[in-house]
Structure 1
Amino acid sequence: MPPIRILAIDPFDDTAVDAWWDAYATAKRAGMGEDALIWSREERRAELQQTPTTSETRAFVAVEGETVVGSGSLTLPLKDNRHVGALGVNVPPEHRRRGIGSALLAHLTSEAVAAGRTTLRAETSWPASAPADGSGEAGLEFGLRHGFAVAIGDLQSRLTLPVADAVIDEMLAEAPAEGYGIRSWTGPVPEDLVAEWAALDAVLDTEAPTGDLDVEASSADVSDYRADERLIDAQGRTCFGAVAVTADGHVAAYTQIVVSRDDGNAYQWGTLVRREDRGRRLGLRVKLENLRMLQRLSPETPRVYTFNAESNAHMLAVNVRLGFVATARMAEMQKRLGAA
């Protein structure tokens, strides 16, 4: 049997990207079916082809003879969290248990070390119907075997649309947002709001439950945020945003839903209320207003997916009231290089 070779791919070589994506998508869908949340072929192509501004993603394939038997990725933040390398190791079921994943992981780790990274992060998911602790799940066991630990556990949930207006109205009545205005839009964040939006978005990863993740706040630079928006546009995605605004015009809370052109689904991204405005149910208000706008402007969108830390009991309870159903669990795994 020929040896396994790990090769970097040219993001502008369509055939190479297609083979890389096919291995990625096949591996992700194994055991997860329609609830495997994967970026589409063209979304990932756009990610690989972007001029790196806030992050750089490198793609690799594992090749046996002339056959691609696995794919890997390494994402390197460039403006913040420069100690972190985010890894993706994907081996289709028919090629597993032959050392291919281990070979990919070793190569990605060496690339991360060469880039000066000291913490590796990875994610793995399994169906909500499986044991909650992930016992017997290949991805989790692979990570643990290679020295990764679970830093935090998340719940993936799905909301089938539309949600009845009466349900939204009932919940809006519980979050009147007195003293605040609500603004919403599609596309890029309006210029007069973007600086404060970017500042809130930058601290989302540190203000939300983080478990044991070795993470710092993201860049709040407006030009960096605009670069991320340009990638979203290149991927054919549409953003739906809403904010609560104080009487003197400051952003007190924000939320964002992103709709994929390719799979048609909506994805709930960040929601955060700034510290001095908490306790007024502003997060609930902006999420409901944004959901109502999504249903009005994109009635063909069939469902919304979201992730929440399993420790975030309040938000999970809100999701249940709206009709979200748990579809999967995800372990965010971490390894500090040099650890046993």
Structure 2
Amino acid sequence: MTITISRIDPFDDDAYDAWWEAYAAARRVDMGENAVIWSRDESRAELQQPSATTERRAFVAQEGAVVGSASIGLPLKDNVHSAGIGVNVPPEHRRRGVGSALLAHVEAEAAAAGRTTLRADIFWPASASADGTGEPGYEFARRHGFAVALGDLQGRLDLPVADAAIEELLAEAPAPGYTIRSWAGAVPEDVVVEWAALDASLDTEAPTGDLDIETASADVADFRADEALVARQGRTSYGTIALTADGHVAAYTQIVVSIDDSNAYQWGTLVRREDRGHRLGLRIKLENLRMLQQHSPGTTRVYTFNADSNAHMLAVNTRLGFRTTARMAELQKRLG
């Protein structure tokens, strides 16, 4: 039977559900209990919400029934030379050309939009080969011209962490001269400009390997729109900052809890260059973890991703109790 590719309407429940089921099934078989999967409602909200920064499209492959799914994100304000893509095929439909057909389709969409660089992420368990050799996602990507631009480690922290352990680590990071401030929900208005600026620079301040990326937009209106999406998805954000004596944001960290599982996900953590060397990263992550445990006692795990070359942040996470559960490769391919 011929494979057909079509774009889905995210407001069509049946079409959307079939797309999501293929995505989730592929992730689960590859990663087991440590699969990081956006829930049905979280992904639906992202696809449905209009965005000034990213155009999102989703596709299914069909042979009668849906046998695979794909997505593409087209940045609209920065990194407009690139496209982020995803291809997911459940195990029972693999090795029959479904993934190749989906990939060819999203590559054509990217080229038609004038994009010259494709980016994608693949995952495999920590117990497998460190370089991905033999893993289905890696071998598929390699055959189709993708190269690993940056390697990452997935870390998992099982909760709760004992209060005494947190206090012991806090004693090692007193942060003299800085004020620590934490909250749940939206970033307060008086610090949102500097928070958004730090957050936007994360991708280029952290190790980037061979990634062809530029600093993201720090527009506050766009940042607030992203926060509105988080709220619509039912997620809760926990944020902590370190403030200098004159009131500037020296460091920030953010953990987001999903309403649909018992997991929390570490998002950005960054210390300004001029404020590094004071253990602020450890201090704010500890404070944020303590707040998370106080306000969300049902959360049983925190997942995080860090470049495998980011020795400092990996050391911080090890002190907190994270253990490596998977690897992620940030892939890149030049078009044309």
Q: Same fold (TM over 0.5)?
A: yes
The partner residue of 1:275 within 250, 261, 273 is 273
Q: Deviations over 1:24-63 (max 9, x none)?
A: 0001111311111010000000011001222121000000
- Tell me the SS of whatever aligns to 1:203: helix
Measure how far apart 1:322 and its partner are: 1.7
Percent identity between matched residues is 75
Measure how far apart 1:99 and its partner are: 0.7
Residue aligning to 2:188: 190
Letter in 2 for 1:205: D
Measure how far apart 1:314 and its partner are: 2.0
State the distance in 1 between where 2:229 and 2:112 align: 26
Residue aligning to 1:159: 157
Q: Do the aligned residues in 1 keep the contact of 2:30 with 2:123 (CA within 8 Å)?
A: no
Measure how far apart 1:317 and its partner are: 2.0
Residue aligning to 1:266: 264
Measure how far apart 1:72 and its partner are: 0.2
Instruction: Work out whether 1:309 is the aligned partner of 2:312.
Output: no
Residue aligning to 1:292: 290
Residue aligning to 1:104: 102
Measure how far apart 1:169 and its partner are: 1.1
Instruction: Work out whether 1:90 is the aligned partner of 2:81.
Output: no
Letter in 1 for 2:15: A
Measure how far apart 1:264 and its partner are: 2.3
Residue aligning to 1:60: 59
Letter in 2 for 1:287: K
Q: Deviations over 1:271-323 (max 9, x none)?
A: 00111111111111111100000011111110100001111122212222222
Residue aligning to 2:17: 18
Residue aligning to 2:240: 242
Residue aligning to 2:41: 42
Residue aligning to 2:208: 210
Letter in 2 for 1:135: T
State the distance in 2 between where 1:318 and 1:200 align: 19
Q: Do the aligned residues in 2 keep the contact of 1:54 with 1:228 (CA within 8 Å)?
A: no
Residue aligning to 1:133: 131
Letter in 2 for 1:312: N
Letter in 2 for 1:8: R
Output the aligned Cα RMSD. 0.8
Residue aligning to 1:31: 30
Q: Deviations over 1:207-250 (max 9, x none)?
A: 00010000111110100100111111111110000000011111
Letter in 1 for 2:36: L
Q: Deviations over 1:178-198 (max 9, x none)?
A: 111011000000000000000
Query: May I ask how many residue pairs the two structures share in their alignment?
Result: 336
State the distance in 1 between where 2:200 and 2:107 align: 27
Letter in 2 for 1:15: D
Measure how far apart 1:328 and its partner are: 0.4
State the distance in 1 between where 2:119 and 2:77 align: 17
- Tell me the SS of whatever aligns to 1:292: helix
- Tell me the SS of whatever aligns to 1:88: strand
**Dislocated runs of 4+, deviation >2 Å:** none
Question: TM-score under structure 2 normalisation?
Answer: 0.99
State the distance in 2 between where 1:11 and 1:296 align: 36
Structure 2 unpaired stretches of 5+: none
Letter in 2 for 1:300: G
